[in-house]
């Protein structure tokens, strides 16, 4: 179901359009509004939720980039993408080392697992950078002021925003992966304890990643299901969604059984983990490319 209305729609009802905003259209996957079109003083303005929170729309809306807060600058968006790329690359490296270990290369479990743990730290860092940006985005029910308020929110509360929901889910998911990878240094003995302290946090992180990726996908596509391959923001969210599906498969198959398991299961799990990390790496590079659209700084 998609919300389309001539008034400014929000999760709690409708708000009449501003007197200087003629022909206002608000749409998005219910109950969210992710796209607005209106005329402001005779000029057509297109407002997109994702671009709004990331500061990618200042030049299109006639806003002065010089007054943009630091979390909506080109540098901030680029750094966020770069940190994500480092985390994804380390996960890809960990998967490669796991494969070498299975081929008989003399690598200890600690050497392999430390790479995954080190990779989880940039994921968490970039995840929080992205959520901090969402937490401090101007509310969705009004045009941001020319001079944004400087009140800093560390977590914020904007449940009407799919971007805020997506980034908080992602951040909590990255923390779960911190536990998942740290608890494997070294892995405890006994399959019950291993499933409890290693598999379970990884599974929780994968579920939260999948929820986060889908929320980001509908925010960029303005619908529950969309196909916008020419749009950079859609490319980023779509490839991250594919990566999260691969992570979900890998986590599900990483269950520690009480007895022997088929030899192909760890291999398929590792390959899905590598592919998911590869998708995140490509998505991070596209984030860095997207940062060029942000306000200067």
* pLDDT for residue 6: 44
* pLDDT for residue 8: 39
* pLDDT for residue 295: 62
pLDDT digits (tens, 9 = 90+) for 93-102: 999 999 998 8
Mean pLDDT of the residues in the chain: 86
List CB contacts of 181: < 8 A, sequence separation 6 or more. 113, 116, 117, 119, 120
Residue written as tokens 């080190």?
118
φ and ψ at 227, to 5 degrees?
-140, 95
For the chain, percent of residues with pLDDT exceeding 70:
83
pLDDT digits (tens, 9 = 90+) for 27-76: 999 999 999 888 777 778 888 999 999 988 754 444 555 567 888 999 99
Please report which confidence band the pLDDT of residue 4 belongs to, taking 50, 70 and 90 as the band edges. Answer: very low
Mean pLDDT, rounded, for 209-220: 98
Mean pLDDT, rounded, for 203-231: 97
Two tokens, residue 77:
């968006």
Nearest one of 54, 82, 95 to 216, comparing CA atoms: 54
* pLDDT for residue 107: 82
| Euclidean distance between CA atoms 20 and 198, whole angstroms | 56
Return the H-helix or E-strand segment holding 261. none
Nearest one of 120, 114, 118 to 201, comparing CA atoms: 120
Per-residue pLDDT for 22 more than 80?
no
* pLDDT for residue 58: 54
| Euclidean distance between CA atoms 115 and 9, whole angstroms | 46
| Euclidean distance between CA atoms 244 and 85, whole angstroms | 15
DSSP for the chain reads -EEEESSEEETTEEEPPPTTEEEEEEEEETT---EEEEEETTEEEEEEHHHHHHT--TTTTT--GGG--GGGBHHHHHHHHHHHHHHHHHHHHHHHHHHHHHTT----HHHHHHHHHHHHHHHHHHHHHHHHHHHTSPPTTSPPPSS------SS---TT-HHHHHHHHHHHHHHHHHHHHHTTTTPPSSHHHHIIIIIHHHHHHHHHHHHHHHHHHHHHHSSSS---TT-HHHHHHHHHHHHHHHHHHHHHHT---SS---THHHHHHHHHHHHHHHHHHHHHHHHHHHGGGSBP-
Please report which confidence band the pLDDT of residue 234 belongs to, taking 50, 70 and 90 as the band edges. Answer: very high
Please report which confidence band the pLDDT of residue 263 belongs to, taking 50, 70 and 90 as the band edges. Answer: confident
User: How far is C-alpha 49 from the chain's CA centre?
Assistant: 14
* pLDDT for residue 262: 86
| Euclidean distance between CA atoms 112 and 58, whole angstroms | 44
Please report which confidence band the pLDDT of residue 149 belongs to, taking 50, 70 and 90 as the band edges. Answer: low
* pLDDT for residue 140: 56
| Euclidean distance between CA atoms 213 and 241, whole angstroms | 5
Segment among 71-85, 248-262, 276-290 with least mean pLDDT: 248-262
Please report which confidence band the pLDDT of residue 283 belongs to, taking 50, 70 and 90 as the band edges. Answer: very high
Mean pLDDT, rounded, for 277-297: 89
Please report which confidence band the pLDDT of residue 296 belongs to, taking 50, 70 and 90 as the band edges. Answer: low
Q: From the CA atom positions of the chain, what is the Rg in Å?
A: 21
pLDDT digits (tens, 9 = 90+) for 163-202: 999 999 999 999 999 999 999 998 888 899 999 999 999 9
Comparing 234 with 1, which gets the higher pLDDT? 234
Two tokens, residue 200:
């379970």
């Amino acid at each position: 179901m998609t919300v389309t209305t001539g008034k400014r729609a929000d999760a709690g009802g409708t708000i009449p359009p501003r007197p200087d905003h003629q022909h206002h259209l608000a749409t998005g996957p219910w109950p969210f509004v992710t796209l607005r079109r209106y005329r402001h003083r005779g000029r057509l303005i297109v407002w997109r939720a994702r671009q709004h929170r990331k500061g990618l729309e200042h030049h299109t809306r006639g806003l002065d980039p010089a007054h943009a807060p630091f979390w909506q600058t080109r540098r901030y968006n680029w750094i966020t993408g770069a940190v994500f790329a480092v985390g994804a690359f380390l996960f890809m490296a960990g998967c490669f080392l796991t494969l070498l270990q299975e081929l008989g290369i003399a690598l200890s479990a600690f050497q392999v697992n430390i790479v995954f743990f080190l990779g989880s730290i940039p994921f968490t860092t970039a995840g929080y950078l992205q959520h901090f940006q969402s937490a401090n985005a101007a509310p969705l029910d009004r045009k941001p002021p020319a001079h944004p308020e400087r009140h800093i929110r560390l977590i914020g509360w904007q449940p009407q925003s799919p971007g805020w929901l997506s980034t908080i889910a992602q951040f909590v998911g990255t923390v779960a992966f911190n536990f998942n990878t740290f608890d494997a240094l070294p892995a405890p003995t006994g399959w019950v304890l291993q499933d409890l302290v290693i598999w379970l946090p990884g599974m929780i992180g994968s579920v939260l990643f999948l929820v986060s990726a889908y929320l980001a996908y509908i925010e960029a596509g303005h619908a529950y299901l969309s196909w916008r391959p020419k749009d950079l923001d859609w490319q980023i969210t779509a490839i991250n969604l594919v990566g999260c599906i691969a992570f979900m498969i890998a986590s599900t198959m990483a269950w520690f059984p009480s007895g022997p398991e088929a030899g192909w299961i760890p291999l398929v799990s590792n390959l899905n983990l590598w592919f998911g990390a590869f998708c995140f790496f490509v998505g991070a590079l596209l984030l860095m490319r997207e940062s060029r659209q942000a306000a200067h700084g």
